[in-house]
Amino acid sequence: MGLDVIIPVYKPDKKFDKLFVRLLSQTVKPDSIILMNTEAAGYSCADLEQRLKRLMRRQKLYGKKQVGVRLVPVRKEEFDHGGTRRLAVELSSADYFVMMTQDAVPADDYLLERLLGAVREEGCAAAYARQCAPFNASLVEQYTRLFNYPTVSCKKTREDLPRLGIKTWFCSDVCAAYKRAAYNEAGGFAQKAIFNEDMLIASQLIELGYSISYVAEARVTHSHNYTLAQQFQRNFDLGVSHAQNRHVFAGVSAGSEGARLVRSTLQYLVGQRRYLDILDLFLQSGAKYLGFFLGRHYYMLPGRLVLKCTGNVGYFEPHEPAQRKSEQADKQEVREDWQ
């Protein structure tokens, strides 16, 4: 059967250490953990190899299964949300793979078991986990996570489009499992994507007749306390993704879902009498809306302004192709199967 976990990493912090250790103690262990490491000073593949070895020595593994670790170097100017993940999948031969981000910490030892159980069901192509905000997250962020990741699991199909709209395609590579056969049938992650590579492939899987499962019992701790500038940039890139994939998003409105989130959050904050948080909500919502609106119309903006608005300058600046051939990546791997 085979199960690999794929994680793009860039200057990983202590959250990544917790994530890595939790993966080693899962009730269903991966065959390999593939780390696409965007190298930086002090965070080369050699540096990361030594760091992971120390973590593995301290971790007592349950059972006897060996977990392989594969480090693949990625140049910063070559990183791409779609292309880098696509390359990582090409390096894997597993029937199932889990995409994660470096700051998504499994809440318990059953994460992979629960995701795998869902995605192995007949007709299911992908299953994504519930994201829970930590206690130190802002109240707006905590409510946003609960709004987008409720406590009840569900399964989404093409028949849900009239009812759920764009939420039908919602799937997050913060933590999501994929069935490789379905992934291949859908054509894989986009070669080049500034954002939304998970929703783009989810829409293709839905159109092919597969289902996407949301598994509330599979939980990761993950949230961001973005500044207003970061919210603006993130939503600018989201708008660019929508503009570049009009054939996917035509006929479904992202704005109505965003407005529903704002209304729901406002009602919650009023009920809690958190009036300062209401101001925070309005400021963040304004930054999101402005960023998304400009991103949707980025092609009308001067190039210099686009570079100031985006959080991914390298996506717009000319550089070498983001996609490296599998043979090149194999040659540059630092180490595989350390245990």
How confident is the model over 298-317, as a mean pLDDT?
92
pLDDT band at 333 (very low <50, low <70, confident <90, very high): very low
| pLDDT value for 250 | 77
CATH of the domain spanning 1-225: 3.90.550.10
pLDDT band at 70 (very low <50, low <70, confident <90, very high): very high
| pLDDT value for 60 | 61
How far apart are alpha carbons 91 and 327 in whole angstroms? Answer: 9
| pLDDT value for 254 | 65
Nearest to 174 by CA among 110, 107, 235, 120: 107
Tokens of 102: 């470096």
How far apart are alpha carbons 174 and 214 in whole angstroms? Answer: 13
Using the predicted structure, report yes or no on whether residue 58 has a pLDDT greater than 90: no
| pLDDT value for 64 | 52
How far apart are alpha carbons 43 and 76 in whole angstroms? Answer: 12
| pLDDT value for 330 | 43
Return the minimum-mean-pLDDT range out of 84-98, 106-120, 136-150, 306-320: 306-320
Domain ranges of the chain: 1-225, 227-317
Give the CA angle between residues 325, 183, 104 to the nearest 5°. Answer: 85
Give the CA angle between residues 277, 279, 282 to the nearest 5°. Answer: 110
Chain mean pLDDT for the chain? 89
Using the predicted structure, report yes or no on whether residue 288 has a pLDDT greater than 50: yes
Instruction: Give the position of tokens 């989130």.
Output: 261
Nearest to 97 by CA among 183, 187, 217: 183
How confident is the model over 154-176, as a mean pLDDT?
93
DSSP state of 254: H
Using the predicted structure, report yes or no on whether residue 198 has a pLDDT greater than 60: yes
Instruction: Give the position of tokens 């402005």.
Output: 290
Using the predicted structure, report yes or no on whether residue 247 has a pLDDT greater than 50: yes
| pLDDT value for 255 | 62
Using the predicted structure, report yes or no on whether residue 212 has a pLDDT greater than 50: yes
| pLDDT value for 258 | 80
Instruction: Give the position of tokens 């054509």.
Output: 187
How confident is the model over 155-174, as a mean pLDDT?
93
| The most confident of 113-127, 263-277, 320-334, by mean pLDDT | 113-127
What's the pTM?
Answer: 0.89
Nearest to 223 by CA among 101, 99, 98: 101
What percentage of the chain exceeds 90 in pLDDT?
A: 75
* Phi and psi angles of residue 337, each rounded to the nearest 5 degrees, phi first: 55, 65
| pLDDT value for 223 | 87
How far apart are alpha carbons 47 and 294 in whole angstroms? Answer: 40
Using the predicted structure, report yes or no on whether residue 65 has a pLDDT greater than 80: no
| pLDDT value for 324 | 37
DSSP code per residue over 169-226 = G---TTEEEEEHHHHHHTT-S-SS-SS-HHHHHHHHHHHTT-EEEEEEEEEEE-----
